[in-house]
Amino acid sequence: MDTVVVVVWLSMVVTILSRSHADRNVYPSAGVLFVHVLEREHFKGEFPPYPKPGDSSNDPITFNTNLMGYPDRPGWLRYIQRTSHSDGVLYGSPTAEHVGKATIIEITAYNRRTFETARHNLVINIMSTEEYPLPYQAEFFIKNMNVEEMLASEVLGDFLGAVKNVWQPERLNAINITSALDRGGRVPLPINNLKEGVYVMVGADVQFSSCLREVENPHNQLRCSQEMEPVISCDKKFRAQFDIDWCKINLVDITKVVMIHSNRPDPGTGVLPDIGEYNPPSESLKSRDFFADFLITLAVPSAVAMVLFTILGYSMCCRREGVDKRNMQTPDIQLVHHSSIQKSTKELRSMSKNREISWPLSTLPVFSQSGEVVPPIHPDNYETTSMPLMQTQINLQNQIQIPQQQPSGKWYS
């Protein structure tokens, strides 16, 4: 597209592109994209020179924008600045309800090197237009662009020129631009120079062209459901500069939408009637006594708990039968058996206390001083039946002597 066409279309599109100045007035139109560039070069003269040597042209400057008297901007106005060494951009699309209201935006520039600030005011006077709203609106999703790149006048002019060639309207305006991140998109990976994507909405005064309607045919709808690229005849007119996702294009006919809303039936019984504004209660309210509520909440449950505790204590402590009554109801033969078992148990316990306990073999040395050793296996003639459970070396009857080495080096058995 040559330069002349770009200049003509930029003049037709009612898009406000302005540089930041102190207390500047701008006049955007309702329903038309508004763009205001905050240039770092303009604010550099507002800061005093830094005493230390350095290149002041590379000062990192960031901007803070807010509606005067409020901490944030109006709902229709957005702001973006990618880095502290790039310009900031205010953009948005005002609506008819903002017409005739002066909006004052406070712009505060921060110099991150000198810690100095400068503040300017931007007065936005929203004007009405006879073309608002344009009846036919189309929203495109461009995958290879970021929002600040699309807001540049040259890039936006190229895109509107391509849409003009495809649509052939008499009036064509850029209505709004939205980053894909504001629509729930994900931040792209920092590889292969990937972009986050941007939604661009344009409006025209004529019906949608056959090329734009090709997205609605069943074949392309099937390809979109299978995550395949649809076949669009006019895609080559955009492909050279703009990578458009045709499956996400949105075509809206405002006339049909208005007609549907105008023929809306009356609200049924489930819809509350309009009873006017909400009137909150007055600040002079009477004090309320909560003593009765306290009694009902705590005293009554406590009294019930005490009654239940008393009944349980009487049942467990005062209703016991006793040992004598239990013995009277037990048969005599059962008591005799119990008494004999108890006597036998006491006798066994007394006998176990009086018996002598010998040391186990595991606590004695294996070899004695005489060279005797405990045989690992008892001989056949050894009476195991009379062997005590715990033996000592004194009780062993059969012991084997091992040969001992004499000083002369001879062995004796």
Structural domain contains residue 64: yes
- Is the domain of 104 the same as that of 138? no
Across the chain, what does the average pLDDT equal?
77
Decide: 89 and 81 in contact? Cβ < 8 Å: yes
- Is the domain of 219 the same as that of 248? yes
Distance CA 305, CA 319 (A): 21
Distance CA 95, CA 393 (A): 112
What does the pLDDT read at residue 286? 77
Quick one: average pLDDT of 389-401? 48
What does the pLDDT read at residue 355? 66
| Position 22 pLDDT exceeds 90 | no
Q: How far is CA 299 from CA 278, 306, 307, in A?
A: 40, 11, 13
| Position 8 pLDDT exceeds 50 | no
Last residue in a domain, options 263, 296, 323: 263
Beta pairing partners, 119: 108
Structural domain contains residue 288: no
- Upper half-sphere CA count for residue 323 (Cβ side, 13 Å): 1
CATH of the domain at 170: 3.30.70
- Is the domain of 99 the same as that of 208? no
- Is the domain of 123 the same as that of 171? no
What does the pLDDT read at residue 100? 82
Quick one: average pLDDT of 355-364? 60
Structural domain contains residue 395: no
Q: Which of 343, 356, 357, 358 is nearest to 393 (CA)?
A: 358
Q: How far is CA 277 from CA 274, 280, 282, in A?
A: 9, 10, 15
What does the pLDDT read at residue 261? 41
CATH of the domain at 105: 2.60.40.10
Question: Global pTM?
Answer: 0.56
Band of the pLDDT at 10, cuts 50, 70, 90?
very low
What does the pLDDT read at residue 396? 47
Structural domain contains residue 2: yes
Band of the pLDDT at 271, cuts 50, 70, 90?
low
Q: Which of 131, 154, 124 is nearest to 6 (CA)?
A: 154
- Is the domain of 172 the same as that of 254? yes
Band of the pLDDT at 365, cuts 50, 70, 90?
low
Decide: 384 and 378 in contact? Cβ < 8 Å: yes
Q: Which of 59, 243, 37 is nearest to 122 (CA)?
A: 37
Quick one: average pLDDT of 14-19? 40
Last residue in a domain, options 101, 129, 157: 129
Q: What is the pLDDT of residues 280-310, one digit of tens each?
A: 777 777 778 888 888 889 988 999 999 999 9
What is the percent of the chain with per-residue pLDDT over 70, rounded to a whole number?
A: 72
Q: What is the pLDDT of residues 44-101, one digit of tens each?
A: 777 776 666 655 567 888 999 999 988 889 888 999 998 888 899 999 988 888 888 8
What does the pLDDT read at residue 412? 41
Neighbouring residues of 357: CB distance < 8 A, sequence distance ≥ 6: 390
Distance CA 120, CA 46 (A): 10
- Is the domain of 148 the same as that of 123? no
What does the pLDDT read at residue 305? 94
DSSP H/E element including 353: helix 332-354
Decide: 26 and 124 in contact? Cβ < 8 Å: yes
Band of the pLDDT at 372, cuts 50, 70, 90?
low
Token pair recorded at residue 202: 């344009």
Indicate the DSSP class of residue 318.
Answer: S
| Position 390 pLDDT exceeds 60 | no
- Is the domain of 192 the same as that of 259? yes
- Is the domain of 156 the same as that of 108? no
Q: What is the pLDDT of residues 248-270, one digit of tens each?
A: 999 988 877 644 443 455 555 55
Last residue in a domain, options 241, 263, 285: 263
What does the pLDDT read at residue 107? 92
Specify the higher pLDDT residue, 323 or 225: 225
Structural domain contains residue 390: no
Quick one: average pLDDT of 34-49? 82
Token pair recorded at residue 242: 């703009």
Token pair recorded at residue 56: 């002041």
Cis peptide bond N-terminal to 133, omega within 30: yes
Number of structural domains in the chain: 2
Rounded to 10 deg, the angle between the 153-167 and 3-12 helix axes is 90
Structural domain contains residue 25: yes
- Is the domain of 14 the same as that of 81? yes
| Position 386 pLDDT exceeds 60 | no
Structural domain contains residue 318: no
Structural domain contains residue 368: no
What does the pLDDT read at residue 364? 58
- Is the domain of 91 the same as that of 170? no
Q: Give the residue numbers spanning the domain of 23.
A: 1-49+57-129
- Is the domain of 239 the same as that of 141? yes
| Position 9 pLDDT exceeds 60 | no
Ordered DSSP codes for 164-209:
HHHH--S-EEEEEEEEGGGGTPPPPPSSTT----EEEEEEESSPPP
What does the pLDDT read at residue 316? 82
What does the pLDDT read at residue 302? 92
- Is the domain of 76 the same as that of 166? no
What does the pLDDT read at residue 360? 58
